[in-house]
A and B are shown apart, each in its own frame.
Chain A
Amino acid sequence: MSEVPKLTLGPVLFNWKPERWRDFYLRIADEAEIDSVHLGEVVCSKRQPFFDPLMPQVIERLSAAGKEVVLSSLALVMTAKEREAAQTLAGVEGFLTEANDLSFAAALKGRPFVVGPFVNVYNEGTLAYLAGLGAKRVCLPIEVPGSTIAYLAAQGLAEIEVQVFGRLPLAMSARCYHARSRNLSKDGCQYVCGEDADGMAVDTMDGKPFLTVNGTQTMSYRYHNLLGELAALRNAGVGRFRLWPQSCDMVAVAALFRRVLDGQIDPSEANRLLADLAPDAEFANGYIHGREGHLLVDEELLTA
């Protein structure tokens, strides 16, 4: 609690063009007030080969800028190739890695690691077990309410990280809905997920924005935004906050969250500025208040 709160930039979940992906991270390295930056393909292993050649340059620049680089593993491991990739990543020395699937955690053989939000950590029993395996930091699943976050932070077993900005990763599938929306198979997907930098909007039949599709991943339409809850989360012992990259100006978004954490700006003022930075975004914070994830709740966060 006494420590300065940290900001994490989650891995880019979308299929951005490789050059755009590289330039995004180079700018983060040079300009963003972010402590830790995650790299790696979490959603679809078919995308990874496009980013692999750019990794060394991006890692070098981020490291040189003093950022902690964390390598994230794939969330849903099915094929032989995906299993091999996980084993290779587990063998990489010199970097902290994030396990988004338990097969990866097991492969780390006791080395310190981060538990990603795609691993189900809902309670102290699981937290304690994973801490015993070497988990030093745990990014909690999106569904957990403030009371659970506070309870788990109070255990003192691992650093607790909470997702605070961006479209919520809601579900993973073996099936690719981006391909399906174009009547393509996953094997012949033509990488159509790359056409939607912030995901493909999914509306209800009566035209209400509802979800977003990112290949095999289903996300919220609304952007998660916990600017108003940061102070309560800090008081509950949360020391680290995760921003998910979207195509808006993430350097500016990070700066906003930083200023609220540092008490330099009022959350309501920050919310006004955030609306300017992401003018098309609608926001939600329901999960942390123990409500429907899509809701925007205007009440104080209870963490007891």
Chain B
Amino acid sequence: MSAENVELVCPAGTPAALKAAVDAGADCVYVGYRDETNARNFPGLNFSRPELTEGIAYAHERGTKVLVAINTFPRAGRPEIWHAAVDDAARLNADAVILADIGLCDYASKKHPELRLHLSVQASASSAEAIRFYHQAFGIRRAVLPRVLTVPEIAALCADVPIEMEVFVFGGLCVMAEGRCALSSYATGHSPNTNGACSPASHVRYVDKGDKVVSQLGGFTINTFGTGEPAGYPTLCKGRFEANGKLSYLFEEPTSLNTLDLLPELIAAGVTAFKIEGRQRGRAYVGSVVKAFRQAVDAIRRGEAPPPFMLDGITEGGKQTAGAYERSWR
């Protein structure tokens, strides 16, 4: 894959963020419906059908594609909610749907053979064999890779599959294999796989203990902060815990993925699309991150090094990591 064809896939949790992403130079935006069919099912986010209609029109007028994430696992006995989500995306001329569930892939491929299908990161397809399975069974055209692979593993994979590969390049970082993590539901009863929500705000509490603030999720302490220190959001896998007699960020620090420096390597590895996480983010954040990555990709296309950019202020905890792309992360 050459830099010419690389697509920047950008988050749009609201109509305002969609416009910000399109205006900042997104090649694609990805969105979800305002319900449990998508994995960012948070209050105040996502699109009604009329909003999606308008959003698609706005994007298409400017040459930007719209991908609809329908990437939770349908509830037994109620597939019609998820089926309608796929049907409506096809009817509204979405450019692709992003799916995770095998049954839903089967439905979409049979009902809408013309509709382009992408495999969500939630499907956790981490090997060439798994990706080929989805391609052969359902005609999946692009897979979003789980955040578990190193760049050499991604390169080997790209060479070994007949479809496009999309990787996360910026934003929130799952440290567990996506679609295979029940930590949130263990603590809160809300599951990314079925409810579309991880560590939901409804189960968050900040308890003032005088000399410190304790952040809790589902009644479990996730972190503590000194007075005056900004209290971070208690995402379960970014908390401090005691293990082996030691208090630490056992799973991961409160950090964000940033692979700006790795973009040329990822392009050389054969990656087709770069995905920016953050449908829960506001339009200002989306606009500035998309703009920075647009500049970076354009610079690489011109054969130049990506310009340095100042995103430190907007990343989680101000810290950044290249995550699993570098072997030492494991």
Could you list which residues of chain A lie within 8 angstroms of chain B, going by C-beta atoms?
75-80, 82-83, 86-87, 101-107, 118, 120, 122-130, 141-144, 147-148, 151-152, 168, 170-177, 180-182, 185-187, 200-208, 210-211, 213, 218, 220, 286-287, 290-294
Cβ of B6 < 8 Å from any Cβ of A? no
Q: Tell me what chain B mostly uses at the interface: helix, strand, loop, or mixed.
A: mixed
Residues of A within 8 A of B176 (CB): 171-173, 218
Residues of A within 8 A of B148 (CB): 76, 78, 173-174
Residues of B within 8 A of A79 (CB): 153
Alpha-carbon gap, A211 to B100, bound state (A)? 27
Q: What total of A-B pairs shows CB separation below 8 Å? A: 217
Q: Is the CB of B76 within 8 A of A148?
A: yes
Considering only CB atoms and an 8 Å cut-off, how many residues of chain B contact the other chain?
Answer: 70
Alpha-carbon gap, A108 to B97, bound state (A)? 28
Interface residues of B in 146-160 (CB under 8 A from A): 147-149, 153, 156
Q: Is the CB of B330 within 8 A of A129?
A: no
Residues of A within 8 A of B123 (CB): 120
Known: A125-B106, A126-B101, A129-B103. A210 touches B129 (CB 8 A): no
Cβ of B125 < 8 Å from any Cβ of A? yes
Contact of A151 among B76, B103, B129 (CB under 8 A): B76
Interface residues of B in 5-30 (CB under 8 A from A): none
Q: Is the CB of B177 within 8 A of A125?
A: no
Report 8 cross-chain contacts, Cβ distance below 8 Å, ordered by A residue.
Answer: A106-B130, A122-B76, A125-B74, A172-B180, A173-B148, A201-B243, A202-B242, A208-B220
Q: Tell me what chain A mostly uses at the interface: helix, strand, loop, or mixed.
A: mixed
Which 4 residue pairs spanning A and B have beta carbons closest together? A125-B103, A103-B129, A174-B148, A293-B186
User: 12 additional contacts, CB 8 Å, given A76-B124, A83-B128?
Assistant: A77-B129, A79-B153, A80-B156, A122-B74, A122-B194, A123-B79, A170-B183, A171-B176, A171-B181, A173-B251, A181-B246, A286-B189
Q: How near does chain A come to B186, taking the closest CB pair, in angstroms? A: 4
Could you list which residues of chain B lie within 8 angstroms of chain A, going by C-beta atoms?
73-77, 79, 100-104, 106-107, 123-130, 132-134, 136-137, 147-149, 153, 156, 175-177, 179-183, 185-189, 191, 193-194, 214, 218, 220-224, 240-244, 246-248, 250-252, 324, 327-330
Q: Is the CB of B218 within 8 A of A125?
A: no
Q: Is the CB of B103 within 8 A of A128?
A: yes
Best-buried of A124, A202, A218 by chain B (most CB within 10 Å): A218
Residues of B within 8 A of A101 (CB): 126-127, 130
Residues of B within 8 A of A124 (CB): 76-77, 79, 103
Contact of B247 among A186, A205, A211, A213 (CB under 8 A): A205
Q: Which residue of B lies closest to A90 (CB)?
A: B129
Q: Is the CB of B324 within 8 A of A106?
A: no
Q: Is the CB of A86 within 8 A of B242?
A: no
Q: Which residue of A lies closest to B181 (CB)?
A: A171
Residues of B within 8 A of A130 (CB): 102
Q: Is the CB of B185 within 8 A of A122?
A: no
Q: How near does chain B come to A113, taking the closest CB pair, in angstroms? A: 13
Residues of A within 8 A of B175 (CB): 173, 175
Best-buried of B106, B129, B153, B224 by chain A (most CB within 10 Å): B129
Best-buried of B124, B149, B224, B327 by chain A (most CB within 10 Å): B124
Alpha-carbon gap, A120 to B240, bound state (A)? 29
Alpha-carbon gap, A173 to B329, bound state (A)? 11
Residues of B within 8 A of A83 (CB): 127-129
Q: Is the CB of B107 within 8 A of A168?
A: no
Residues of B within 8 A of A175 (CB): 175, 251-252, 324, 329-330
Q: Which residue of A lies closest to B192 (CB)?
A: A143
Q: Is the CB of B127 within 8 A of A103?
A: yes
Known: A175-B324, A206-B221, A292-B185. A106 touches B133 (CB 8 A): yes
Residues of A within 8 A of B137 (CB): 129
Q: Is the CB of B133 within 8 A of A205?
A: no
Residues of B within 8 A of A173 (CB): 148, 175-177, 251
